[in-house]
Amino acid sequence: MRHLFTLNHYFITYKWHLLGGIVFVTISVLFSVIPPQYVRESFNAVEEAIRTNADHNTNSVTSETQALILRYGLIIIGAALLKGLFMFLMRQTLIVMSRHIEYDLKNEVYTHYQKLSQRFFRANSTGDLMNRISEDVSRVRMYLGPALMYGINTSILVVVVIQRMIAINPTLTFYTLLPLPILSYLIYRVSHLINRRSERVQAQLSSISTFVQETLSGIRVLKANVQETYLAERYDQEADEYFARNEHLYRINALFGPLMLLLVGLSTIIIIYLGGMEAIAGNITIGNIAEFIMYVNMLTWPVASIGWVTSIVQRAEASMERINVFLDEPPDITNPSDKPFVLEGNIRWDNVTFTYGHTNITALKDVSFSVASGKTLAIIGETGSGKSTVAALQTRLFDPTSGAIYIDGKDLLALNLDAYREQISIVPQDIFLFSDTIANNIAFGVDNAREEDIVDAAKMAGLHENIMAFPKGYQTRLGERGVTLSGGQKQRTALARALIKKPKVLILDDCLSAVDTETEERILRSLRSYTQSITTIIISHRVSSVQHADEILVLKKGQITEQGTHADLMKADGYYSDIYEKQLREEQVV
């Protein structure tokens, strides 16, 4: 229970729900032991009436007996209604409390996820992250809600009922209760098996979902490679497995009900036999036997639920452990300060080396450069040379392994990270657009964007005409149920999203690779009037898009091999002038 105890602070937060729940459970238990007593009284009254009739040799029921039984009947109904009312209130407090805690716990996990760095998200699969926030949290809720509720209910009920039974006849109590612990243990074993088997069913279900989801999103590749029949066969196999596991589960499920009936039946037989003997001996009344049967019936489900509750608690403990592993994960990147500051845009890298933690790939080695506010730096280099890593470090998705990055003369590690990120924009290489309207996708990084700002940003990104060509213009939905943008349109949407923030530092990571050279040049030209006043880092494979930069870096295997203006590098006669010639020739061919 070590992990579940980490939830105890929630019980303090919701103490009134918890206390209210305990009070309501107690009251409902007190009402639930009233009916058996009046059933006993009714039986005894009837027995009494029969005896009087036999004594006087008559065959009538006196109005007194009738009135008595009617009164008992009304009391029984009244007590049952009140018991029901308090059970309703018990659910309203305890189950509602568990829903509140579930909500809080989900938020806690989600908030923590957002603090964690790229490294964490690379190391853990999305499915795993989703599972812990949904499946695992709902298992923990089963402990906080039903398990706790039945636990409290059973403890109070057992004490009250057994105490009443012993008061009537201790020996009879002992024998009738004998089968119940066995029942409890068997239910525990069976629930354990049911849980294990339903987990296997769940696992197969998610395997089918993943399979279907993958084949549907890759439907174009699938059809192009004529894989329909093969995949249909694989689907059949998956479905057969699902069927088999379900059958396995229902076999054990079918055992559950009969098992309970069997053991309850056993208790009833014991009561009737032993109770009958005691009644004949005059130690108890006939009414006591009826009362006993009702008590045993009242105890059956709660006692059986001990086994069920135990297996829920075990599962919840395992789930909470999984959740805690993530919650205890310290964020790599933390915000050291909340002091506001205004970014000027002077950047200086001082001997920065960076190694990706989980792969040990050293992507950057001793990289130093500086860009003054308002200048443009371009980075060019072959694939895998570390260009995107520069962008990642500049936006503090990762921190340098050694060396430092200075912003306006201050170490980036000491700056208010939120304020810093609000004033910079990056257009990443792998663009992500939401299933939402184009307008909302562009306005993503700013609160309450005005419509003209959205249009301005789209114009600057060379996207406005394209958007206006859609029937719904800026309200066109993107994504699964909407329009699919072309690669170049996606890139320009991401560019517009970066520009609407009016950043002081703009980083473009190969963000126009999918548009033709001419369009790219047109966009960069129209951007230039804006980028003149801000610091810009352009990452590209194309010489055409970097040649106007104030300074160009050539990266090779994580190291700077050439550095200077276009003219400098052309004179140097190295990698840069090489690819310049090559790309010039290609363009002429086109």
Ligand X SMILES: Nc1ncnc2c1ncn2[C@@H]1O[C@H](COP(=O)(O)OP(=O)(O)OP(=O)(O)O)[C@@H](O)[C@H]1O
Q: Segment 90-149, which members bind ligand X (CB under 6 A)?
A: 122
Torsion of CA 500, 503, 505, 510, to 10 degrees: -10
Environment class of residue 68 by beta-carbon count within 10 Å: exposed (0-12), middle (13-18) or buried (19+)?
Answer: middle
Q: Segment 370-389, which members bind ligand X (CB under 6 A)?
A: 381, 383-389
Rounded CA separation 404/406 (Å): 6
**Residue 275 vs 400, nearer CB to ligand X:** 400
Q: Which of 211, 242, 356, 369 binds ligand X (CB under 6 A)?
A: 356
**Residue 366 vs 453, nearer CB to ligand X:** 366
**Residue 249 vs 392, nearer CB to ligand X:** 392
Task: Give the 3-state secondary structure of residue 361.
Answer: strand
Interface with ligand X, residue 396, by CB under 6 A: no
E-strand spans in 280-384? 347-356, 361-371, 376-381
Nearest approach in angstroms of CB 360 to ligand X is 9
Answer with the entry of ligand X, Mg ion, none that 522 interacts with (C-beta below 5 to 8 A by kind): none
Q: For residues 424 and 393, is the Cβ–Cβ distance under 8 A?
A: no
Nearest to 300 by CA among 393, 397, 174, 161: 161
- The secondary element (H helix, E strand) that includes residue 11 is helix 8-13
Answer with the entry of ligand X, Mg ion, none that 529 interacts with (C-beta below 5 to 8 A by kind): none
Answer with the entry of ligand X, Mg ion, none that 384 interacts with (C-beta below 5 to 8 A by kind): ligand X
**Residue 102 vs 520, nearer CB to Mg ion:** 520
Q: Which of 359, 448, 484, 529 binds ligand X (CB under 6 A)?
A: 359
User: At residue 331, what are phi and psi to the nearest 5 degrees?
Assistant: -65, 135
Q: Which amino acid would we find at residue 61?
A: V
Nearest approach in angstroms of CB 388 to Mg ion is 3
Nearest approach in angstroms of CB 513 to Mg ion is 10
Q: For residues 86 and 24, is the Cβ–Cβ distance under 8 A?
A: yes
Q: For residues 390 and 309, is the Cβ–Cβ distance under 8 A?
A: no
Environment class of residue 457 by beta-carbon count within 10 Å: exposed (0-12), middle (13-18) or buried (19+)?
Answer: buried
Nearest approach in angstroms of CB 400 to ligand X is 14
**Residue 383 vs 484, nearer CB to Mg ion:** 383
**Residue 198 vs 544, nearer CB to Mg ion:** 544
Q: Which of 232, 361, 414, 468 binds ligand X (CB under 6 A)?
A: 361
Of 14-22, 296-304, 426-434, 492-500: span binding Mg ion (CB under 5 A): 426-434
The DSSP annotation for 384-415 comes to TSSHHHHHHHHTTSS--SEEEEEETTEEGGGS
Q: Segment 360-389, which members bind Mg ion (CB under 5 A)?
A: 387-388
**Residue 379 vs 454, nearer CB to Mg ion:** 379
Q: Which of 65, 138, 353, 429 binds Mg ion (CB under 5 A)?
A: 429
In the shown chain, the binding pattern of residues 23 to 42 toward ligand X, with x for contact by CB under 6 A and - for none, equals: --------------------
**Residue 510 vs 551, nearer CB to Mg ion:** 510
- Pairing state between β 551-556 and 376-381: parallel
Q: Segment 479-538, which members bind ligand X (CB under 6 A)?
A: 510
* Max CA pair span of the chain: 133
Of 196-204, 317-325, 355-363, 474-482: span binding ligand X (CB under 6 A): 355-363
Q: Segment 413-472, which members bind ligand X (CB under 6 A)?
A: 429
Distances (CA, A) of 369 to 250, 372, 374, 560: 67, 10, 15, 9
Answer with the entry of Mg ion, ligand X, none that 175 interacts with (C-beta below 5 to 8 A by kind): none
Q: What letter would DSSP give residue 5?
A: G
**Residue 116 vs 304, nearer CB to ligand X:** 116
Contacts of 340 (CB under 8 A, 6+ apart): 416, 419
Strand partners, 380: 540, 554
Nearest approach in angstroms of CB 414 to ligand X is 25
Q: Segment 313-342, which members bind ligand X (CB under 6 A)?
A: none
In the shown chain, the binding pattern of residues 168 to 197 toward ligand X, with x for contact by CB under 6 A and - for none, equals: ------------------------------
Contacts of 576 (CB under 8 A, 6+ apart): 380, 543, 552, 554, 562, 569, 570
**Residue 291 vs 509, nearer CB to ligand X:** 509
Nearest to 180 by CA among 316, 305, 26: 305
Nearest approach in angstroms of CB 576 to Mg ion is 18
Nearest approach in angstroms of CB 314 to Mg ion is 47
Sign of the Cα torsion 334, 336, 338, 340 reads negative
Q: What is the CA radius of gyration of the chain?
A: 37
Q: What letter would DSSP give residue 329?
A: P
Residue nearest to ligand X (CB): 388
Rounded CA separation 441/437 (Å): 6
Total residues at interface with Mg ion (CB under 5 A): 3
Nearest to 570 by CA among 556, 584, 587: 584
Task: Take residue 479 and report the two structure tokens written for it.
Answer: 């994504």
Interface with ligand X, residue 363, by CB under 6 A: yes
**Residue 114 vs 359, nearer CB to ligand X:** 359
Environment class of residue 163 by beta-carbon count within 10 Å: exposed (0-12), middle (13-18) or buried (19+)?
Answer: exposed
Answer with the entry of ligand X, Mg ion, none that 389 interacts with (C-beta below 5 to 8 A by kind): ligand X
Residue nearest to Mg ion (CB): 388
**Residue 136 vs 510, nearer CB to ligand X:** 510
**Residue 102 vs 510, nearer CB to ligand X:** 510
3-state secondary structure 483-537: ECCCHHHHHHHHHHHHHCCCCCEEEEECCCCCCCHHHHHHHHHHHHHHHCCCEEE
Of 78-86, 125-133, 199-207, 354-362: span binding ligand X (CB under 6 A): 354-362
**Residue 315 vs 542, nearer CB to ligand X:** 542
In the shown chain, the binding pattern of residues 477 to 506 toward Mg ion, with x for contact by CB under 5 A and - for none, equals: ------------------------------
Task: Take residue 139 and report the two structure tokens written for it.
Answer: 């298992």
Rounded CA separation 413/335 (Å): 8
Nearest approach in angstroms of CB 427 to ligand X is 13
Residues that bind ligand X (CB under 6 A): 122, 356, 359, 361, 363, 381, 383-389, 429, 510
Residues that bind Mg ion (CB under 5 A): 387-388, 429
